[in-house]
Amino acid sequence: MRIVILSIALLLCSVYVSQAYEDTSLEDDDFAEFEQFEADEDTPSNDFIEEEVPVLKAKLNVNKEQFEINIDADDIVVEDEDNEFEHFQDPEEFEGYQDTMPRTAEQPKITISQVPIMIRPRWDAYWLEGILCCLLAAYALAYVIGRAKNTAIATNFLKLHKPLLDENFTLVGESGLDVVSADERGWRREAEHCFTMWCSGRQCCEGMLLTLKLIKRQDLVHVLLGVVRPTPDTLLIRVELGKDDCDPFVLCIAQKKIATRLAKEMQDLSMFCPERRAGDKHGLPAALGVLSECAEATAGVLDARVTAALQRYHAHVHFIHVSDRYCGPKQMEETVATKPPETERVMLVSLALGPDGGGDEVRPLLLLVFYLLDKIKRLRLSKEALSKCEKRRVKATEAWVRGAHAARQEQAAQRREEKRKQEKERILAEDDPEKQRRWELKEQKRQQKRKAPKMKQLKVKAL
């Protein structure tokens, strides 16, 4: 009996304990799936598959809610894109930075000035551009006026003196597109201030070239410089003499300053006419100087007619240069000529024209040039004067040959010295001391041989 009572008591306690530990959160529907399996054991498999999906979904929903409830709120991290620069507000990011910044009492103030708006342009602000435009306009106007004036001077000169040139030459001037007058022969325009004209077909010469060098009136700058230092218009006459048209002599009659300059610059005058004599010793004005190689040639050229013409028109004569060895200005010292310069027989005459570009003073001077051509053609030097002139030319040729030979030797010595320097640099660049020693011995022997006096050996035969 006691055993039955004890077993009943144990059963009641177990029931009570099971109810106490039962999960109240579970509902009756939580075990519906197990009841379904028990109720429908005999149902086919296809029906079981169709009901399996909603049961699983309900289970997943319950687990998701439990998962969201159990998550701690401190572990949640929310990313906000607007807080990209939030670290600038953190004081720990800038520890010690505030101490290094300079402290100013007050912030700088920016003052904005009120600038008035210019509605209409002010012309006084463009004064520099206005000056430049005026200068350009003045230069263009001076070019047009100066070119027209130079052309008018050349045309007037041709109109006044072409009849005289036609009387002495068969052909006067050239024809073409560059001439001043297209309808007839005349000047050839080389530049806006330079005109040339070739004349040929006369005895005592092979031809004559007239060069009219006028003031650069088309250039405003040159015109302004001409006010400070005026220069006249110039007519340069170059007469080509034939081989048999004159004897060999050099003569120059020029203004004193021009004569001094020509004696230094011209090759033939510096070589054959070293002395300059005053013009009054030959019956000429004191303003002229004479450079002559032969006194006999000077006396033969300067007769009474030439002297009278020079006394009257000496102010318009720059120089009269007659030479059979004319080769132009002296050669530069840096340049070494390999052959003797070509010489010509010429007569050069430079005339200064008047303010109107050649008036009444040009015709007598042109007549003087034609008279000198005939005079030089008829002039014959004596045998003694001719032999002296020939000896001077031979000496001049020999001096030129010696000078050219010395120049060639100097060039050869420079080439040899340069070659030795290159060889020395090449030997020193090598690391062979024996080769350097042999080269030094060879160089010493060469220097000793060069410094040794040259002696001539004489062989005496024994008796």
Closest residue by Cα to residue 303 from 243, 354, 366, 379:
379
Quickly count: other Cβ atoms within 10 Å of residue 372's Cβ. Answer: 21
Alpha-carbon distance of 37 to 450, in angstroms, equals 135
Give 53 or 328, the one with higher predicted confidence.
328
Cα 92 to Cα 80, 103, 108, 378, distances in angstroms: 21, 21, 29, 120
Q: pLDDT tier at 55 (50, 70, 90 boundaries)?
A: very low
Q: pLDDT tier at 81 (50, 70, 90 boundaries)?
A: low
Lowest-confidence region among 110-119, 125-134, 242-251, 270-279: 110-119
Examine the pLDDT at 117 and tell me if it is beyond 80. Answer: no
* Percent above pLDDT 70 for the chain: 69
Examine the pLDDT at 50 and tell me if it is beyond 50. Answer: no
Strand partners, 197: 210
Q: pLDDT tier at 67 (50, 70, 90 boundaries)?
A: very low
Strand partners, 414: none
DSSP per position, 86-119:
GGGG-GGGGTTHHHHSPP-SS--------PPP--
Closest residue by Cα to residue 362 from 206, 198, 192, 165:
165
Q: What is the pLDDT of residue 248?
A: 87
The token pair that represents 282 in the structure block: 């030959």
- Residue in this structure with the two tokens 């009219």, named with its chain if needed: 212
Question: Which one-letter DSSP state was computed for residue 85?
Answer: T
Q: What is the pLDDT of residues 207-261, one digit of tens each?
A: 899 999 999 988 888 888 888 888 889 999 999 988 877 888 899 999 999 998 9
Q: What is the pLDDT of residue 403?
A: 76
Q: What is the pLDDT of residue 49?
A: 39
Q: pLDDT tier at 176 (50, 70, 90 boundaries)?
A: low
Q: What is the pLDDT of residues 124-139, one digit of tens each?
A: 778 888 899 999 999 9
The token pair that represents 161 in the structure block: 């003196």
Average pLDDT over residues 6-11: 71
Cα 434 to Cα 130, 171, 424, 447, distances in angstroms: 80, 81, 14, 20
Q: What is the pLDDT of residue 46?
A: 43
pTM above threshold 0.85: no
Q: What is the pLDDT of residues 376-390, one digit of tens each?
A: 888 888 888 888 888
Q: What is the pLDDT of residue 462?
A: 61
Q: What is the pLDDT of residue 134?
A: 92
Question: Which one-letter DSSP state was computed for residue 453?
Answer: P
DSSP per position, 395-460:
HHHHHHHHHHHHHHHHHHHHHHHHHHHHHHHHHHHS--HHHHHHHHHHHHHHHHHHHSPP------
431, amino acid identity: D
Question: Coil, helix or strand for 336?
Answer: coil
Alpha-carbon distance of 429 to 425, in angstroms, equals 6
Average pLDDT, the chain: 76
Examine the pLDDT at 350 and tell me if it is beyond 90. Answer: yes
Q: What is the pLDDT of residues 396-438, one digit of tens each?
A: 878 777 777 777 788 888 888 888 888 888 877 777 788 778 8
Q: pLDDT tier at 140 (50, 70, 90 boundaries)?
A: very high
Q: What is the pLDDT of residues 95-105, one digit of tens each?
A: 665 555 555 55
- Residue in this structure with the two tokens 């050069």, named with its chain if needed: 348
Note the helical H segments in 175-280.
220-228, 256-265, 267-272
Alpha-carbon distance of 372 to 174, in angstroms, equals 25
Question: Which one-letter DSSP state was computed for residue 137?
Answer: H
